[in-house]
């Protein structure tokens, strides 16, 4: 009896609602879809993506790609420029290896340029000899000679012993020398090769043609001396140290900057001054050596060494006298 009474109740179908609010009708519960939102539909239709699509023009797309490429590119190296000219770094070593070795760090022009003919001297880096050369003038272009232009530094035992600047092959701005302990030994200011305190005389009142450059540093003769003819060609070049002529002094023909005579003075300005210099070299008008004391060459008086038939040779005995320092 009991079994027959329970069986009908167990087989009866009953609707079950998942709505948490039993008072609301089932239809209302089924109508509210909690898994969809208005923002997830397009034109009232379900969308598989919740991201909004943005329409961009081709120009904007191209600009975005370029910006991305630019961000991926490595930053370009800045070109080295000094006084408006492109330069390249170089270095040279001299002396024994080790602590006493001298290292020079400098810059030179990438492309050659015309130089000032009135400059007392020009400085070059010889790529063949790997050393800095000081030359009064060169008659023709030499590919191995690079014009110094830019900062300069000389080091020994990792300590700076000299600093300065070159401009178009000439010393420029402030140059300083130090001892091994970093104590300042000397300081000289240059203006395109000339010491700032130099005496400069000119031909004529327009001051366009230089006659003579007498170097003075702190009231004493010091540095490169130069004397020119009225046509702009060099007449004499030499060097003073401690108020005395030192090294080799050159007398020129007066055209194409060709040397004629070379006289030798003392090695140092702190030794007794040489009053009668020694003739060590002589050249004819074709720049051919006709006398060289060191190489024991003497072709003077021979027909092939004559400059012009019947021309008398006048040999100066010494460099010209210099004018006294002008008062400021």
Closest CA to 172 of 155, 145, 149: 149
Task: State how far Cα 205 lies from the chain centre.
Answer: 37
pLDDT in tens, the chain (328 residues): 444 454 554 555 555 555 555 555 544 444 455 554 555 555 555 555 555 556 678 888 888 888 888 777 766 667 799 999 999 999 999 988 888 899 999 999 999 888 888 888 899 999 999 999 998 767 667 889 999 999 999 999 999 999 999 999 999 999 999 998 999 999 999 999 988 889 999 998 888 899 999 999 888 999 999 999 999 999 999 999 999 999 999 999 999 889 999 999 999 999 998 889 999 999 999 999 999 999 999 998 887 666 555 555 667 767 887 866 665 5
CA distance 264 to 276: 9
Contact between residue 268 and residue 246 where contact means Cβ atoms under 8 Å apart: yes
Sign of the C-alpha dihedral computed for residues 225, 179, 100 and 87 taken in this order: negative
CA atoms within 13 A on the CB side of 1: 0
Domains of the chain: 77-196 (no CATH), 197-323 (2.20.110)
Closest CA to 191 of 200, 182, 178: 200
Q: How far apart are the first and last CA of the chain?
A: 144
Strand pairing category for 199-203 and 145-147: unpaired
Long-range pairs, 295-302, Cβ under 8 A, ≥24: none
């Amino acid at each position: 009896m009991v079994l027959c009474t329970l069986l009908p109740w167990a087989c009866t179908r009953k609707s079950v609602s998942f709505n948490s609010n039993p008072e609301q009708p089932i239809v209302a519960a089924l109508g509210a879809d909690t898994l969809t939102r208005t923002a997830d539909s397009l034109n009232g239709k379900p969308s598989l993506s919740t991201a909004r699509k943005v329409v961009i023009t081709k120009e904007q797309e191209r600009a975005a790609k370029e910006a991305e490429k630019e961000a991926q590119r490595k930053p370009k190296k800045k070109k080295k420029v000094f006084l408006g000219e492109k330069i390249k770094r170089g270095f040279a070593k001299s002396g024994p290896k080790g602590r006493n070795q001298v290292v020079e760090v400098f810059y030179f022009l990438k492309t050659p340029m015309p130089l000032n003919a009135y400059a007392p001297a020009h400085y070059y880096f010889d790529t063949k000899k790997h050393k800095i050369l000081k030359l009064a003038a060169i008659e023709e272009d030499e590919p191995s000679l690079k014009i110094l232009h830019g900062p300069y530094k000389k080091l020994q035992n990792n300590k700076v012993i000299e600093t300065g600047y070159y401009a178009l092959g000439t010393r420029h701005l402030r140059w300083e020398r130090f001892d091994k302990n970093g104590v300042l030994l000397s300081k000289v200011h240059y203006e395109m090769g000339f010491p700032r305190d130099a005496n400069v005389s000119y031909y004529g009142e327009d001051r366009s043609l230089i006659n003579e450059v007498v170097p003075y540093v702190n009231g004493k003769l010091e540095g490169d001396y130069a004397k020119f003819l009225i046509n702009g060609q060099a007449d004499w070049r030499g060097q003073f140290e401690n108020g005395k002529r030192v090294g080799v002094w050159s007398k020129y023909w007066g055209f194409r900057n060709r040397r004629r005579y070379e006289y030798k003075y003392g090695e140092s300005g702190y030794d007794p001054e040489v009053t009668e210099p020694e003739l060590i070299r002589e050249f004819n008008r074709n720049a051919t050596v006709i006398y060289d004391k060191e190489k024991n060459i003497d072709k003077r008086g021979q027909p092939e060494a004559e400059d012009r038939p019947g021309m008398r040779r006048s040999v100066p005995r010494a460099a010209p006298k210099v004018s006294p320092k002008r008062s400021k």
